[in-house]
Structure 1
Amino acid sequence: MFDIDGVLTDGRIHVLPDGRAVRNMTTHDSFAIQLAIKKGLRVAIISGGSGLGISEILRHLGVVDLYLNAAYKIEAYEDLKACYGLSDSEICYMGDDLPDYEVMSRVRLAVCPHDAAPEIRAISHYVSPKTGGNGCVRDILEQTLRVRGWWNDVHSRSW
């Protein structure tokens, strides 16, 4: 499970003259997300923001479980667990700021980008050397896929 702002994006929001918000996301994270989904990993997103533009990209990559405007992320987290019959011990969550704290306190593997809030870094089992929006999602997904032997096989070399 991943947050959007500060994890999939660098946390900056550019506002266009017409009022639309634009976020930056790296294709390195995008490639890893679609590959993880193709290989059978379930990727879910829980974000307090609306992320309308990025939600289209995530759906195109194969993300089915997309919780936006989640004021209390723990509610979305509990819903996801119930939907799939998961326990806390089966879940990895990457967050970067205080709204992620409660979920990260429960999961088996709490991870964060290098530039996460100090409180989040303190409860994380792993701190990526990559910052939010700059490959931290790929870092954790690539490690997961490598451990399973799914990273650099013949089926992983295409979009």
Structure 2
Amino acid sequence: MTMTVTTSELRSRLSQVKLLALDVDGVLTDGGLYYTETGEVFRKFNIKDGQGIKLLKQAGVEVAIITAKSALSTLNRAQDLGITHTFLGVKDKLSQLKILCQKLDISLSQVAYVGDDINDLEVLQAVGCPMTVADAMQANQNIAIYITKLPGGQGAVREICEMLIANCQ
């Protein structure tokens, strides 16, 4: 059971977005972790998602990463994309998002958040534009006002960026 909103309600909410906040594993990546024999972990990021983030930033929307993991690969990817609002090792994502909103002088209603797992539920319930990816947990899909056609790490973030750009005022 997905939360349903009309097309005009979705467009209205998208047009109010000033910040796109993203989880990493399962959203910006496919959720897979690659381990080397020495125990080093690799994540695969999608180039199309990255281009979408760059275009969204050019359109004037802030972008943030808020993730529970502390991974140098995520920090490197964020720096590559010019994402200055990058928060790693966050246990309370909603509190971190509230601090960022205060810094940016925006409200939670002006935030689109994309999260795919149970540690994202509290944030999804609090923001104006809760979104998730096609392969997200069912609980996340139940809260989201938009579920991407593509799974995480495979262009889902690009899909959301293009929707936001199309609805920017």
TM-score by length of 2: 0.84
From 80, 83, 103, the equivalent of 2:100 is 80
Partner of 1:135: 155
Alpha-carbon distance in 2 for matches of 1:74, 1:17: 36
Residue 17 of structure 1: CA displacement? Answer: 1.8
Partner of 1:18: 38
**Higher RCO structure, 1 or 2 (CA under 8 Å, sep 6+):** 2
Alpha-carbon distance in 2 for matches of 1:51, 1:10: 15
From 57, 65, 75, the equivalent of 2:85 is 65
Alpha-carbon distance in 2 for matches of 1:37, 1:60: 13
Kindly report the root-mean-square deviation, in angstroms, between the aligned alpha carbons of the 2 structures: 1.2
TM-score by length of 1: 0.89
Residue 148 of structure 1: CA displacement? Answer: 3.4
User: Equivalent pairs: percent with the same residue?
Assistant: 31
The one-letter code sitting in structure 2 at the alignment partner of 1:110 is P
Partner of 1:111: 131
Q: Give SS of 2:130's match.
A: strand
Q: Give SS of 1:5's match.
A: coil
The one-letter code sitting in structure 2 at the alignment partner of 1:87 is S
Partner of 1:43: 63
Stretch of structure 1 that moved more, 103-112 or 71-80 = 71-80
Q: Deviations over 1:60-90 (max 9, x none)?
A: 2110000110011112111111111211111
Partner of 1:157: none
Question: Where does structure 1 lack aligned partners over 5 or more consecutive residues?
Answer: 150-159
1:29 equivalenced with 2:56 (yes/no): no
Question: Where does structure 2 lack aligned partners over 5 or more consecutive residues?
Answer: 1-20
Q: Deviations over 1:84-142 (max 9, x none)?
A: 12111111000000110001101110000000001000000001011010111000101
Alpha-carbon distance in 1 for matches of 2:95, 2:71: 18
